[in-house]
Structure formats: structure tokens, C-alpha cells
Amino acid sequence: MSHIRIVLTGAAGFIGSNLAGRLLQEGHAVIGVDNFMTGNPANLDSLQAWPSFTFIEHDVIQPIGVDGPVDWVMHFASPASPPKYLNYPIETMRVNGEGTRHLLELCQHKNAGFLLASTSEIYGDPSVHPQPESYYGNVNAIGPRSCYNEAKRYAEALTYWMSRTYGIPVRVIRIFNTFGPKMDLNDGRVITNFINQILADKNLTIYGDGSQTRSFQYIDDLVDGILRLLDTPYDQPVNLGNPVEHTILEIAEIVKELMNSTASIEFLPLPEDDPRRRKPDITVSKSILGWEPKISLHEALLRTIRYYQSQFIH
């Protein structure tokens, strides 16, 4: 891919900062945008060393102006962890609603393409397993998770209608549970919670009986898939996730083993509408992108644990 200029929202967050780092390494110019609502300014430190990186502190619920040409706008700004989006329900709906609209308008103005970070949450508590892109989902429109999953569904609808109406080139990725370095240790998602609890000598918290499943992907595999998608003309939604499925109880045991921990497990109530099972069908990404995850859960956890140990234990 020739070198391009990208506006990347959510650049101070977990995925945004990792993606920005890789885009800069590949020779692209990145204009990062973030309001630090759930992101961390320290995630920008290694990016600021690149002359091809600039940063705009801005809330993308408001329209944004950017100087100079733009080839792609990539919209990753949004709280992503259940406790965070439940803390900011209206902001979450607005960043995916009005935020998505303003960024699509920026694309119209700049003749740029638009990449939307969507989510496996749009499949809700799925009645089809594993989930292919053609599955319409099983979502409670007014439940506790609706401020996030319905907002992302609206963001997808808006993306495709703005594309059909104004000819904006679009890419939509449906990201399945992803973790790795630079995720906020207090983010509230399950892998960071378990590592954080072991580092703090606390019990591991399992919601429900731990029999619900998720399929966890390492951040580098996700970033690899995103770069491949930019290199293809494919404009339909693409699942990016690791199809290896585990129960949450298994995840707790694996994290304990890798950290040599004897922590106890504390069972807490399962939140309402928590999906029972989740696993991506990656037939499309395999055939369109020639992509599949390469990093095993063990390796991904080891790298992530080492990262947090280097950050917090001196």
C-alpha cells in the first residue's frame, strides 16, 4: 500500500494506540484524535516520537476540522468495556451516533474512505453459533448493553447509507474480544480484571458460573487484519476475531497458571443480557483477506502479563 494520511479517532485507547504505532511503522501519517474519556495520554508517548504523528485533543461528538488532505478516517473512539459504557451511556450512544456522522461528513469533505470499528456485540446474545457476518443478531433494544450494541448497529447503518448516498468508500470490521498491551488495567474487561486481581493479591471475580464462552484475540492479529482490509476493495462487514473458544472459568484457570497464582475464585451475579456464547466465523476474512489469527492464547497472555508486570512491578 502506498503511504497515506489517516485520521484515527480513539488514538489514546487500547486498539487505537496499537494501530497507530503499526501504521506509523508502515510509513503512513497519522492524525490521532481523542478526548481521553477512557484512553490514557501515556499511550501516546511512543507515538509522539514520530514526526508523521500529530494529535488533536477533541470530543468527536462535535464536528471536527482537519488541515490538509486525508485518505482514510478510522473511527475507533468509543468506550468499549461494559462498566465503562454503562458509566457513560449517553456519551457512548453519541460518539457512535453523532460522532460517526461527523466523521463520515469529514470523509465527504475530504474525499476520504471511512473505516468503522464495529463489534461482535451487534450479534447480541447469539442464537447462531459461531457467528457469520450474515447473522442479523439477537439484541435487546432497551437492555443494559443497548447503549453500546444498538449504537454500533446504528453506526453500521449510517455508514452504509452515507456510502450509498454519497459514494464514500467504507470498510466495517466487527471486532471480537481483543486484548494486549496498552489496555487499561482498570478497564473492567475480563482478562485485565484477572491479571489486575492476581497482581493485587485479590480473588478472581467470575460473573455467573463461568460457563459462558468468549473467543479472545491478541491485538497484533487484529491490527494485521485491519491493514489487510485496507489493501482490498471489499466493503462489506468483516469479522476479526480468534475462533478458539473458552469458558470464562477456563480463562481464569489459564491466567492463574501462567502467573503461578493460587488466588481463589469468587462467583458474582451474571450481568443482565451477558451473551452466553461468542465465537467468530472467520470464513470471510480468511478468503477475502487471506487472514487468520497467528498468536495462541497462551502466547498472547504471556506477552500481556509481561507488559503489565513491566509497567507495575519494579
Residues tagged active-site: 148
Whole-angstrom distance, CA of residue 203 vs CA of residue 197: 6
Other C-beta atoms lying within 10 Å of the C-beta of residue 126? 18
Of the two residues 38 and 163, which places its CB atom closer to ligand NAD in the complex? 38
Binding mask 109-138 for ligand UDP (x = CB under 6 A): ------------------------------
CB 120, min distance to ligand UDP, A: 7
Residues 192-231 within binding reach of ligand UDP (CB under 6 A) = 193, 205-207, 212, 214
Residue in this structure with the C-alpha cell 485533543, named with its chain if needed: 57
Show the 3-state SS of the chain.
CCCCEEEEECCCCHHHHHHHHHHHHCCCEEEEEECCCCCCHHHHHHHHCCCCEEEEECCCCCCCCCCCCCCEEEECCCCCCHHHHHHCHHHHHHHHCHHHHHHHHHHHHHCCEEEEEEEHHHHECCCCCCECCCCCCECCCCCCCHHHHHHHHHHHHHHHHHHHHHCCCEEEEEECCEECCCCCCCCCCHHHHHHHHHHCCCCEEEECCCCCEEECEEHHHHHHHHHHHHCCCCCCCEEECCCCEEEHHHHHHHHHHHCCCCCCEEEECCCCCCCCCCCECCHHHHHHHCCCCCCCHHHHHHHHHHHHHHHHCC
Q: With contacts defined by CB under 6 A, how many residues of the chain interact with ligand UDP?
A: 14
* 274 makes contact with ligand UDP (CB under 6 A): yes
CB 1, min distance to ligand UDP, A: 31
Question: Could you say which of 35, 100, 212, 213 contacts ligand NAD (CB under 6 A)?
Answer: 35
CB 2, min distance to ligand NAD, A: 26
Residues 2-61 within binding reach of ligand UDP (CB under 6 A) = none
Question: Could you say which of 4, 21, 32, 38 contacts ligand NAD (CB under 6 A)?
Answer: 38
CB 113, min distance to ligand UDP, A: 28
* 80 makes contact with ligand NAD (CB under 6 A): yes
Of the two residues 112 and 175, which places its CB atom closer to ligand UDP in the complex? 175
Question: Could you say which of 78, 100, 193, 197 contacts ligand NAD (CB under 6 A)?
Answer: 78
In this structure, are residues 69 and 18 in contact, taking their beta carbons and an 8 Å threshold? no
State the binding partner of 59 from ligand UDP, ligand NAD, none, CB within 5 to 8 A by kind.
Answer: ligand NAD
State the binding partner of 102 from ligand NAD, ligand UDP, none, CB within 5 to 8 A by kind.
Answer: none
Burial 20-50 (b: 16+ CB within 10 A, else e): bbbbbeeebbbbbbbbebbbbeebbeebeee
* 34 makes contact with ligand NAD (CB under 6 A): yes
Residue range at the interface with ligand UDP (CB under 6 A); choices 23-31, 64-72, 185-193, 228-236: 185-193
Question: Could you say which of 37, 190, 195, 301 contacts ligand UDP (CB under 6 A)?
Answer: 190
List residues binding ligand UDP (CB under 6 A).
81-82, 177, 189-190, 193, 205-207, 212, 214, 248, 271, 274
List residues binding ligand NAD (CB under 6 A).
9-10, 12-16, 33-39, 59-61, 76-80, 95, 99, 117, 119, 175, 177-178
